[in-house]
Structure 1
Amino acid sequence: MPALRHALRRAPAAWKSACNRQSWTSVRCFSGSPMTQANWGFVGLGQMGYPMAKNLRAKIPATDSITIYDINESATSQFVEEANSAGPGASVTIAKSLQDVSRSSDTVITMLPQPKHVQAVYEEFIAGGLDKSNPRLFIDCSTIDVKTSLEVGSSIRALGHDFVDAPVSGGVVGASAATLTFMLGASDSVVGKAQPILEKMGKRIIHMGNPGTGIVGKLANNYLLAMSNVATAEAMNFGIKLGLEPKTLASLINCSTGKCWPSETNNPVPGVVEGAPSSRGYQGGFGVSLMSKDLKLAIAAADLAGAKLILAEPARKLYEDAEAHADCKGKDFSVVYKYLQLADK
């Protein structure tokens, strides 16, 4: 059995006993009753984390409290200012350290950029001491590699706490509108705890399987997205160069077998889809650097499982080259269309 499937399907007995362990303290924060007071923690107020934390704060009882942390102090200050101007709601506290978050919270949600950040944050949580008499639930929504997620989860469960991986799909728009899709990797006994929390920030929660499978689902989806984006950019590019009008070509594709999300919703050609990043100078959306990162993570996951990805390397190089180009850096990942045009010259 490949190493990845073995790791995902056969969690150690210590994990399972930890996942089955419950107390009034660990489940109290999942009640919608206004008589119940819960303490929440949120780490990572970036483009995705900030609106997610705002939606969480808006949907938990006013008797609850939420402790936030980010290395960007202006983000935490702005969050508190907006929370206060929004009117009555759960009280918000800016943590002075990561350990303040883990000590004061029953449920902690993390949304971080890279595997190294996730690892460092959870090491701080553990170093601060996690009281076994007060089991906590940790929900990591970051998109990282499978190995790091499994290792972090194992270290948390070994201390008697729950940990689930719940990466998201839907982008900044979905995070702001609370319509995200969460891919949940959790034991059956923990799904009931995590789902009502994720529903405060998203619309769909798909239980993928045991811990680690949420990450696998996210990386598989983003690998396909990376490929379809490149294919759409190439098809539009050569079709237009051979005389087709952009909107006419897109209309054909979108009522034919080539239809996909990049062709219909996030078309890479400026002016084809009003409001798409390509029609706004490739501003906003999902950054080309993030797609490059996710593609590398997908390749690493496939290598771990012994699964061959034939298209991966050419696509990886294209995204890296686009990211490095001065006219494409920092733009939406659909900017690969612009990069192809630049490369044609």
Structure 2
Amino acid sequence: MRARLVAWGFFRAQQRAFSTTPRRLESYGFIGLGQMGYQMAKNLQSKLSPSDSVRLFDININATKRLAEEMKVSQTGGAAVEVSRNANDAARESDIVITVLPEPSHVKSVYREILSPDLPGKARVYIDCSTIDPSSSREVARWVADANQGQFVDAPMSGGVVGATAGTLTFMLGAPDALVPRLEPLLLRMGKRVLHCGAQGNGLSAKLANNYLLAINNIATAEAMNLGIKWGLDPKTLANIINVSTGRCWPSEVNNPVKGVVEGAPASRDYSGGFGISLMKKDLKLAIVAAKEADAKLELGDRARQVYEEAEQVGSCRGRDFSVIYRFLGGKE
């Protein structure tokens, strides 16, 4: 009897030791902590296992340190947090590297640094959530493949800073079918929807096609609202008619450019917040470049780009939500 009790005690001790031994599951590198990346990294870290780790890097070292401190102060779980010296350091020990960067030139510069000759070989997955042109993205994917450093996928997102903060982003994923089951749960820690668009580069193509349409719909909505109001129509009446008729679109229904029509829309707070006019100009330019590479004819793209460029130069429009085009047109506020 005593022997059985001793054996049972030894077995329970082994169970406790096994259950409390930390197990490193996966290591993440997160590079690019601007308005979007900062919030995405917070959501990711908070929803990972304590046996995971997240290495942070941004050229703004103060932002990096501030985020690391916020994560540690609020930490009731979540992954361990480290601050990296540079992009290569963030990627070196990571299984998955996530980048969120402003322009194609920034993406290329960061991946040149990551893929330096001294980077140890590892089957990493690189997830680029930047909005860049598909050809630049495919070029970086070739660099990763040529360096035998794993796989590179594109996962641009929709939802803005509000969606990044709330964890409600939609990701448009360009990746091999075999990677989707691994990547989808990870992206859902930072968003609420993952749309697999096909091979690498297709996520960006989908986003740019959507934003091309959005850019033009926004101008058309601003023009239609301005036209109807000048004809004497009440703004809310006009919007209600559009939104139950064939003119209905996101800029008319959700982001209406006229103050007071949609409660909470940027137009009702002097066009602050939302999707900046400079970002829309950037996405539209990328879509036009990609269309030319694909030999896809665009009739409205160049004129729409001119409208956003001209509006951005106006002091009362600069730095505001892209629906401020209504103001640029001289719409009644």
Q: Percent identity?
A: 56
**Would you say the 8 A contact 2:221–2:251 is kept in 1?**
yes
Among 144, 147, 157, the residue aligned to 2:135: 147
Whole-angstrom distance in 1 between the partners of 2:118 and 2:137: 20
Structure 1 distance, partners of 2:202, 2:70, is: 35
**TM-superposition CA deviations, 1:35-76 (whole Å, max 9, x none):** 443211111111111111111001110121111111222321
Q: 1:62 aligns with which of 29, 50, 62?
A: 50
Matched, 1:156 2:113: no
Q: Does the 8 Å contact 2:88/2:119 carry over to 1?
A: no
- Asked if residue 39 in structure 1 is aligned to residue 27 in structure 2, the reply is yes
**Counterpart pick for 2:108 among 111, 119, 122:** 119
Q: Deviations over 1:145-197 (max 9, x none)?
A: 11110000111022221110010111112111211111111112222222221
| Unpaired runs of at least 5, structure 2 | 1-21
- Corresponding letter in the other structure for 2:67: F
Q: Which residue of 2 aligns with 1:20?
A: none
Deviations 1:89-142 (A, max 9, x none): 31211111111111121111001110000000000001263322x211100000
Is 233-242 or 70-79 further displaced after alignment? Answer: 70-79
**Residues 58 and 64 of structure 2 are in contact (CA less than 8 Å); yes or no, is this contact kept in structure 1?**
yes
In structure 2, what is the Cα distance between the partners aligned to 1:235 and 1:145? 31
Matching residue of 2:9? none
Instruction: After TM superposition, give the deviation of residue 272 of structure 1 in Å.
Output: 1.1
Which of these residues, 207, 218, 221, is aligned with residue 196 of structure 2? 207
Query: Residues 1-345 of structure 1 correspond to what in structure 2 (within 5 A)?
Result: 35-88=23-76, 89-127=78-116, 129-132=118-121, 134-160=122-148, 161-341=150-330
User: Following TM superposition, where does structure 1 have runs of at least 4 consecutive aligned residues deviating by more than 3 angstroms?
Assistant: none
Q: State TM-score, norm by structure 1.
A: 0.87
- Aligned CA-pair RMSD: 1.4
Give the residue type in structure 2 aligned to 1:41. Answer: G
Using structure 2 for the length normalisation, give the TM-score. 0.90
| Higher RCO (CA < 8 A, seq sep 6+) | 1
Kept in 2, the 8 Å contact 1:40–1:105? The answer is yes
Partners of 2:53 and 2:135 in 1: CA distance: 33
Amino acid at match of 1:295: L
Q: Match of 1:176, SS?
A: helix
Kindly tell me the number of residue pairs found equivalent between the two proteins. 309
Q: Is the 8 A contact 1:228 1:262 kept in 2?
A: yes
Amino acid at match of 1:218: K
Distance 1:128 1:244, change over 3 A: farther
